Amino acid sequence: MKQAYRVLAFLVAAGVMLQAAAVAYGMFGLLKWVENGGTLDQSTELTPDLGGYTGFSLHATGGIFVVPLIALLFLISSFFGKVPGGVKWALIVFGLTVLQVALGLFSHEVAGLGWLHGLNALLVFGTAVMAGMRVTRAVANKVVAAEPVPAATVS
Amino acid sequence: MHLNEGTRRRLKIVLPIVATVAIVAPLAWLWQASLLPKSYSVMDMGYSDFGGGPGNEPAASDSHGHGHAASPGTRSVVDLTADAARQADVRVDLVAAQADLVIGGKSVAGYTLNGTSPGPTITARQGQLVEVHLRNTSVPTGITLHWHGYDVPAAMDGVAGVTQDEVPVGGEFTYRFVADRTGTYWYHSHQVSNEQVMGGLFGALIVLPVDADRAGNDVIATAHTYGGKKTINGAATDLRVAAKAGQRVRVRVINTDNGSIEAWASVPYRVLAVDGYDVNEPADVPGRSVTLTGGARADLQVTMPSDGTAVRVQVSKGTAVILGDGDPPPPPQPAGDLDLLSYGSPEALGFDAAKANRHFDYSVGRRPGFVKGRPGLLWSINGHLYPNVPMYVVREGDVAIMRIDNHSGDVHPMHLHGHHAVVLARNGVAATGSPWWVDSLNVGDNQSFEIAFVANNPGVWMDHCHNLKHAADGMVAHLMYEDVSTPFRIGGAADNQPE
């Protein structure tokens, strides 16, 4: 279960990386599309014709479904993982993920929240990596601890 | 508290399981509760809202009612038709097909009616009986035709699963209604409507006064976005129309998109009609645009300058109608839009809104939850998510007031089928201009409207957001007459999916 915890933690981090990459591609794709004569207004629909479509749809699906689901599974794995402090870290990652989804959704109403959405993404990424690394470190420590202690030399 | 070793070990096993169940169970329950049956009647959806009118208690004539106005009606929508014995004056055959459209040199997957999109304009004179025979040759998800803004008999409203079954490939359906009102309207599919309207299954419906002389001074401008390209009448170029100096031209703008558009002109213009209904004593509008919400229409009248210069009527920034010869530069978009609340002069409404006996609320919000098994931040109506939304119940002859308020963070073009409503007030400020009749009302975030209508068209009617994406996400309620029921079902063998 420790390994599941570790893998899920890194999957959350990987998800954040993909989210950032997708939305960046989306923005540039959209700008290029507008440059080439596309019109962006209220009637513009998220269809494959839209520039940057792949980026936006990945970001939307990833942000509302995939990453929260991984974070939820990560939290559940922490209950069984017996990682010291594991539940605490999983709660932090999960809480920040929920905050991230909320910020993403409410940024559509209050654009200023977009600043926090971008910054909080780094927090989700950072805490998820930390949580994963803690298992790696804990396992390493255990291995070190399990090595036979050299016997005191008797002169 | 002291726990012995055994208890502690057991807790170590049980606690994680309890925590997991505590998280997963409520989510699973919410998800499961949002799933819809394979087939259901809109009459069983949500809860009855009688608006303070009769219906809570069994009506005097109703011997079996037990507080359920949604009990089986005595009339079926299928029987609410135009006079079957009357001969049609205007006959139109429409053939729907799946096709690749060429928009601005680019191929866009879509649909056609009689080989084109938009489909043919249906024109009638006031009082004529219109008969439209629809055939579906290749639209795989089926099709219907809804007469947007035209208050047709209920059986002809064209809503899959509410007033008819969708017309499958190889199927056909005949729509018949009397064109009793003049004005600018449109028709579109109301089966998988978001996708099908976006793909081009729509056209214009124009009803002219009996004596109107249309020659040369009447232009239809149907605005639509195909695959991200703005068009007028299906072409991604400006629409050029000949016009002589001094001539008065009526430009009928129809917004078939989900989002609102602005229209304005290079010269002062008048708004002759909104959503098909004439404005009383419209004045010149200088320096303002007119907002057309999703599904709305506005008839703009411009007078060609005496010096012969051409006139541009902008239909949003991207496209324009150019009247006359020449290439006038695009007029800058006005900073503000025309306030229809105080435009034109008041006149009698034809009914007394103060005598309203139904008072409904249609409050639009947004909250996290599940709809149809999909999680998201979803539109709520009076705090509830689809399908737990109100069924507004009226009796024929009632006067109803509906208070629409929006605190959802987005704009909603609210569209009530089968009726026109008049705007009484916006944000508590009473209307002072011409009666502002609407079928498609732009309700902005943090806005509230008070509208009134007369229950004079029995049926079961949709009352939904005409941003059809929002409708597909569950922003759909219904208005029903207490004695009318529908045999049609959403889903089911016919696979009716109105949104």
What is the pLDDT tens value at each position of chain B, 499 positions in all?
A: 567 888 888 888 898 899 999 989 999 998 998 898 899 999 999 999 999 988 855 444 433 333 344 455 589 999 999 999 999 999 999 999 999 999 988 899 999 999 999 999 999 999 999 999 999 999 999 999 999 999 999 999 999 999 999 999 999 999 999 999 999 999 999 999 999 999 999 999 999 999 877 666 899 999 999 988 899 999 999 999 999 999 999 999 999 999 999 999 999 999 999 999 999 999 999 899 999 999 999 999 999 999 999 999 999 988 999 999 999 999 999 999 999 999 999 999 999 999 999 999 999 998 888 888 888 888 999 999 999 999 999 999 999 999 999 999 889 999 999 999 999 999 999 999 999 999 999 999 999 999 999 999 999 999 999 999 999 999 999 999 999 999 999 998 889 999 9
Interface of B with A in 420-449 (CB under 8 A): 445
Exposed/middle/buried for B171, CB within 10 Å: 0-12, 13-18, 19+?
Answer: middle
Contacts of B197 in chain A (CB under 8 A): none
Q: Do residues B391 and B48 touch, judged by C-beta distance below 8 A? A: yes
With an 8 Å Cβ cutoff, is A114 touching chain B?
no
Classify B354 as helix, strand or coil. helix
Out of A43, A79, A105, whose CB is closest to B20? A79
Cα of A155 to nearest chain B Cα, Å? 45
DSSP state for residue B201 in the 8-state scheme: -
Nearest to B156 by CA among B136, B173, B176: B176
Exposed/middle/buried for A99, CB within 10 Å: 0-12, 13-18, 19+?
Answer: middle
Residue B107 makes CB contacts below 8 A (sequence gap 6+) with: B100, B101
Q: Which helix (H) or strand (E) holds B269?
A: strand B269-274
* Architecture of the B90-340 domain: Sandwich (2.60)
Interface of B with A in 258-287 (CB under 8 A): 258-261
- Residues composing chain A: 155
What pLDDT is recorded for position A152?
A: 53
Q: By 3-state DSSP, what share of chain B in percent is helix, strand and coil, each rounded to 5?
A: 10, 40, 45
Q: Decide if B16 and A79 are in contact by the 8 Å CB cutoff.
A: yes
Q: Decide if A39 and B228 are in contact by the 8 Å CB cutoff.
A: yes
What pLDDT is recorded for position B325?
A: 93
Q: Do residues A136 and A6 touch, judged by C-beta distance below 8 A? A: yes
Classify A22 as helix, strand or coil. helix
Largest Cα span, chain B? 102
Q: Do residues B346 and B300 touch, judged by C-beta distance below 8 A? A: no
Residue B180: CB atoms within 10 Å: 14
> One fold for both B40-75+348-491 and B90-340?
yes
* Domain spans of chain A, in order of start: 2-146
- Report the residue of chain B nearest A48, measured CA to CA: B227
Contacts of A39 in chain B (CB under 8 A): 225, 228-230, 316-318
What pLDDT is recorded for position A106?
A: 85
Residue B420: CB atoms within 10 Å: 21
Q: Do residues B232 and B223 touch, judged by C-beta distance below 8 A? A: yes
Q: Decide if A44 and B259 are in contact by the 8 Å CB cutoff.
A: yes
Contacts of A80 in chain B (CB under 8 A): 16
Q: Do residues B253 and B220 touch, judged by C-beta distance below 8 A? A: no
Given the DSSP bridges, would you call strands B202-208 and B183-188 parallel, antiparallel or unpaired?
antiparallel
Which segments of chain A have a pLDDT < 70?
A: 143-155
Sheet strands side by side (includes B277-278): B229-232, B218-226, B248-255, B297-303, B269-274, B277-278
Question: Number of C-alpha atoms within 13 angstroms, CB side, residue B320?
Answer: 19
Q: B382-403 as b/e, with b when 16 or more CB fall inside 10 Å?
A: bebbbbbbbbbbbbeebbbbbe
Q: Do residues B153 and B81 touch, judged by C-beta distance below 8 A? A: yes
Classify A83 as helix, strand or coil. coil
Classify B348 as helix, strand or coil. coil
- Report the residue of chain B nearest A110, measured CA to CA: B409
With an 8 Å Cβ cutoff, is B257 touching chain A?
yes
Topology of domain B40-75+348-491 in CATH is Immunoglobulin-like (2.60.40)
Cα of B341 to nearest chain A Cα, Å? 23
Residue A53 makes CB contacts below 8 A (sequence gap 6+) with: A26, A29, A46, A47
ipTM over 0.90: no
- Report the residue of chain B nearest A63, measured CA to CA: B376
* Domain spans of chain B, in order of start: 1-34, 40-75+348-491, 90-340
Residue B78: CB atoms within 10 Å: 13
Question: Peptide bond preceding B140: is omega within 30 degrees of 0, i.e. cis?
Answer: no
φ, ψ for residue A120 (rounded to 5)?
-65, -30
Q: Decide if A49 and B227 are in contact by the 8 Å CB cutoff.
A: yes
